[in-house]
Amino acid sequence: MECKEIQKQIEDFDFSRLSLKDNEEFLRHLETCKDCREELEIYYIVKYGLTDDKIIPNQVFGYDDKEVKDEMSHLFDRLDFEGVVNYRIKIEKEKIDKIKRLIKYSKYSLLATDAIMILTIIALTVIKYL
């Protein structure tokens, strides 16, 4: 994806409005592109750096985890916007990994449910004709 496309998605990324796939591409691009990382940093400076309201980042990020909220507030308080970007990327990656694991797990559990149903049907059929 091109930088222009990525930079258009910054606000959606911030508000967690990107699809899983777009979010992954966004993060992958940021890993290698310094320009877009800087662009994200500028976004945070403009959007949250110029306000005294410390509640804003907590509300916006929508994370339930207290540890994450505290760390975010701490970084904003110190005006460490590079730190905000790095921490946000780290958290988003963990979120994606978690979702992927859940998807994988639910696929397996569906397969297991199917297998049990088939075995039950076979068992019932066998019992019936014995």
Asked whether the beta carbons of 13 and 23 are under 8 A apart, the reply is yes
* Residues 1, 25 contacting (CB under 8 angstroms): yes
Sorted by sequence, the CB contacts under 8 Å of residue 15 that are 6+ apart come out as: 60, 62
Q: Is 91 in the site for Zn ion (CB under 5 A)?
A: no
3 contributes a contact to Zn ion by CB under 5 A: yes
In sequence order, which residues have a C-beta less than 8 Å from that of residue 99 and are 6 or more positions away? Answer: 20
Identify residues 34-63 at the interface with Zn ion (CB under 5 A): 35-36
Size of the site for Zn ion (CB under 5 A): 4
CB of 62 to Zn ion, least distance (A): 25
Binding Zn ion (rule: CB under 5 A), the pick from 12, 27, 33, 63 is 33
CB of 35 to Zn ion, least distance (A): 5
Binding stretches for Zn ion (CB under 5 A) = 3, 33, 35-36
